[in-house]
Copies of this chain bind each other. A is one copy, B any other.
Amino acid sequence: MLNFNFCNPTRMIFGKNTISSLGEQISKEGLKKVILLYGKGSIFKNGVYDEAISSLKENNIEYVELSGIKPNPVLSKVREAIGLMRENEVEAIVAIGGGSTIDTAKAASAGFYYEGDVWDLFEGKAVPKKALPIFTVLTISATGSEMNSGGVITNEDEDKKWGFGSPLLYPKVSIVDPSVQFSLPDNQTVNGAIDTLSHVFELYFDGTKNTDMMDELSEGIIRTMMKHVEILLKHRENYESRAEFAWCSTLALNGYNGTGRKGDWASHNIEHSLSAFYDIAHGAGLAIIFPAWMKYVQQCDVKKFERFAEKIFNITEGTSEEKGAKAIERLKDFYKSLGAPTTLKEIGVNKEDLPKLADNAAMRAPIGSLKKLYREDILSIYEIAYE
């Protein structure tokens, strides 16, 4: 186990009928004016917008609104938010949505007090010293952003989909009412499950040794998520499964699961380059990339892949290597059974584009921890993922 220094100060308010506590939570902090960030219209349909607004009004909290935040959120929207926030002198941000909205909130929160252009914070040219408090109402469980301090934004002018983070960016309060996810289309539920599983894989297969307790936690999240996503594809409105799904998704990436480990994150980087060029959901991209990465790196930690095979898929026969290889196939089959894509070809990627994707992903190479990956490795992984 590696040394760690860990603190997650986000307050998590979880369960049925919890959105009505939003206004009180903001008011408690002495805050009176906020910006409301959200995406398209889904929060109007599922009642979340009305609930949140009522709660703000009851607590006499003023608000301005910025809508239209898209999946794979973009830098231009972050800049727009910062402009509006400064103009209106807001004191906090309320993000209503999923990871895209929350990540936009985080970038805007740090950018609000920064004099230069907010992209500097992504490039490492500056470090945030102060940030506006963030409150979130989660409407789709996937990224874990509701209880961590990081985010991912696409700089659309430079084709860079990059992550950033700061301890200042933990949401002050996150409200998760799993029942608001009853109305999610199946493919979004599936993408959320795959995103969650991928976060666990990044931490689980990172090459750190002696991580028994964290391996147990990871395996618990994987098994629970695999069980409940299948239930939800049959029974979209099963509250208990929505709750297990939502809490798994948060726990996968709220820091605990990473204690004592370094994390790998190569697959996320490789996927980011994919969704920077092709407009596909992050979860769908990960369904394609992760099994390919696993095949490419299995030899670097045969024992861990064997453990994965035994603990997740109850595979007990064969050599260590055979078990691991079988588990990777089983994972791919599982993704297929959920209706997720598992090859680049089927989502319309041109084979000729692979070198360009590899160039993009290698911009900050070497990436990864279990195996340090350079451009040629990344290209090989795209090729494995192709068909």
CA distance A217 to B247 in the complex (A): 12
Contact B243 A1 (CB under 8 A): yes
The answer to whether A3 has its CB under 8 Å from any CB of chain B is: yes
Of A82-90, A115-123, A208-216, A378-386, the one contacting chain B is A208-216
Contact B5 A244 (CB under 8 A): no
Determine the residue in chain B with the shortest Cβ distance to A175: B5
CA distance A14 to B259 in the complex (A): 9
Out of B16, B216, B251, which one reaches A221, CB within 8 Å? B216
Q: How many copies make up the complex?
A: 2
Contact B7 A9 (CB under 8 A): yes
- Chain A, 33-63, contact with B by CB distance < 8 Å: what is the 0/1 string? 0000000000000000000000000000000
Contact B8 A14 (CB under 8 A): no
Q: A5-B13, A14-B259 are in contact. List 13 more A-B contacts (CB 8 A).
A: A1-B247, A2-B15, A4-B12, A7-B10, A7-B12, A12-B259, A212-B227, A212-B228, A213-B221, A213-B248, A216-B219, A220-B220, A251-B256
CA distance A247 to B247 in the complex (A): 21
Contact B223 A216 (CB under 8 A): yes
- Chain A, 204-243, contact with B by CB distance < 8 Å: what is the 0/1 string? 0000001011001101110110011000000000001001
Determine the residue in chain B with the shortest Cβ distance to A18: B3
Contact B240 A260 (CB under 8 A): no
Contact A14 B5 (CB under 8 A): yes
CA distance A221 to B256 in the complex (A): 13
Contact A1 B244 (CB under 8 A): yes
Nearest 5 interchain pairs by C-beta: A3-B15, A216-B220, A7-B11, A210-B240, A1-B243
Residue numbers in B under 8 Å from A247 (CB-CB): 1, 213, 259-260
CA distance A240 to B260 in the complex (A): 11
**Chain A contacts with B in 170-222, Cβ cutoff 8 A:** 210, 212-213, 216-217, 219-221
Chain A positions within 8 Å of B, measured between CB atoms, are 1-16, 18, 210, 212-213, 216-217, 219-221, 223-224, 227-228, 240, 243-244, 247-248, 251, 256, 259-260
Residue numbers in B under 8 Å from A240 (CB-CB): 1, 210
18 A-B residue pairs with CB within 8 Å: A1-B244, A3-B16, A4-B12, A5-B13, A7-B12, A9-B9, A12-B259, A14-B259, A210-B244, A213-B224, A213-B244, A213-B247, A213-B251, A216-B224, A219-B220, A220-B220, A243-B260, A247-B260
Residue numbers in B under 8 Å from A13 (CB-CB): 4-5
Residue numbers in B under 8 Å from A1 (CB-CB): 15, 240, 243-244, 247
CB distance from A26 to the nearest CB of B (A): 15
Determine the residue in chain B with the shortest Cβ distance to A225: B213
Contact A224 B244 (CB under 8 A): no
Residue numbers in B under 8 Å from A16 (CB-CB): 3
CA distance A243 to B260 in the complex (A): 10
Do A12 and B18 form a contact, CB below 8 Å, given A213-B224, A244-B213? no
Contact A224 B251 (CB under 8 A): no
Do A14 and B7 form a contact, CB below 8 Å, given A217-B220, A259-B247? no
